[in-house]
Amino acid sequence: MYIAEAFKYRHDFWRYIIGTILVVVGVIIGQIPLGVAVFLERGMDMASMTEGELMQVLDSNFTFFLILLTFAAGLGVLLLVVKLLHNQSLRSLTTSRKKVDWGRIWFGFGLVAAFTVSVTFIEYMVNPEDFLVNFQPVPFAILVGIAIVMIPLQTSFEEYLFRGYFMQGLGVLVKNRWIPLIVTSVCFGGLHFFNPEVTQMGNLIMIYYIGTGFLLGIMTLMDEGMELALGFHAGNNLTAALLVTADWTAFQTESIFKDISDPTAGLDVLVPVFIIYPLFLFIMAKKYGWKDWKNKLFGKVEKPEDIKHIEEI
């Protein structure tokens, strides 16, 4: 089992507490370049600026890069923590398979990317008045370069932290699967509470963020590895950053379109979570032959027999 992989390494819970603290420190350090850049541009005025105003001080592509650099720093610290504090391999943090399945990563990426591109262009054709063509060749080309390199680092950090480090750490502590699934999904969604989208659309959008956490967590537990979640998360964020931006989103980019509609949280929040997400899971379940849902989502986490035997000796 995927969670049980942690039993093979140093899995004392205090290590996870220290590791989490170190990762938070890494993220804070990763924010320093953005803070310095804004300070050099606006000086002490930055203290009275809103988050949206801060994001508009610098060139959008430069700001986008600096924001993603925060996640890259967090990922670097997390991988060091896993290696040095837990003596755990990156492979075992990623999957229970003997090696990482890149085919699964690309399938998760392609599934959500194809869906997002299709839905975006359908929405543009049906409601063109809600969009402004924002495409500028040079800024867009720079955005593509930044996004291709940095967004996988951002999404990988979130996946390795929540669906990897936290899920395995909680799993070996409580010896079951459902508590790690619930806790990591709610925490993942909760961290998006301060996104500008929540301010604009209201707390109802938290259903979307927490629902996305459950989707990625279910993928990981049912597939006994993070590959699908890694690909899906990267595909979702990459296509979103390149296709559509808006003045009220966390990522304001030099994308192809700009959404100028007045956003509200309603069916557009509920439909993805309760209709589209189950459809994604159904497709993956059929492709990869998922079975025994009850045990994989709610069953016990037991120490592998080979480890028990070694400890007895």
Confidence (pLDDT) at 194: 82
Q: What's the pLDDT at 58? A: 76
Closest CA to 182 of 142, 210, 141: 210
Query: Average pLDDT for consecutive 10-residue bins of the chain (313 residues)?
Result: 95 97 97 88 64 67 94 98 97 97 98 96 94 95 97 98 98 97 97 85 91 98 98 97 88 91 81 96 98 96 70 43
Using N-to-C axis directions, what is the helix angle for 60-80 and 137-159, rounded to 10°? Answer: 20
Predicted pLDDT at 131: 94
Counting Cα atoms < 13 Å in the Cβ hemisphere of 302 gives 8
Q: How many CB atoms lie within 10 A of CB 248?
A: 17
CA distance 157 to 148: 15
pLDDT of residue 200: 82
Residues in the chain: 313
Q: Residue 45's pLDDT is what? A: 64
Please give the radius of gyration of the chain, using alpha carbons only, rounded to the nearest integer: 20
Tens of pLDDT, residue by residue over 263-281, are 777 788 889 999 999 999 9
Please report the pLDDT score of residue 309 as a whole number: 42
pLDDT of residue 307: 66
Considering the entire predicted model, what is its pTM?
0.93
| Residues 271/148, Cβ–Cβ less than 8 Å | no
User: DSSP for the chain?
Assistant: -TGGGGGGS---HHHHHHHHHHHHHHHHHHTHHHHHHHHHHHGGGGGG--HHHHHTTS-HHHHHHHHHHHHHHHHHHHHHIIIIIS---HHHHHBSSSS--HHHHHHHHHHHHHHHHHHHHHHHHH-GGGEEE---HHHHHHHHHHHHHHHHHHHHHHHIIIIIIIHHHHHHHHSBSHHHHHHHHHHHHHTTTTSHHHHHH-GGGHHHHHHHHHHHHHHHHHHTBSHHHHHHHHHHHHHHHHHEE-TTSS-----SEEE-S----SHHHHHIIIIIHHHHHHHHHHHHT---HHHHHHSB----HHHHHHHH-
Identity of the residue numbered 184:
T
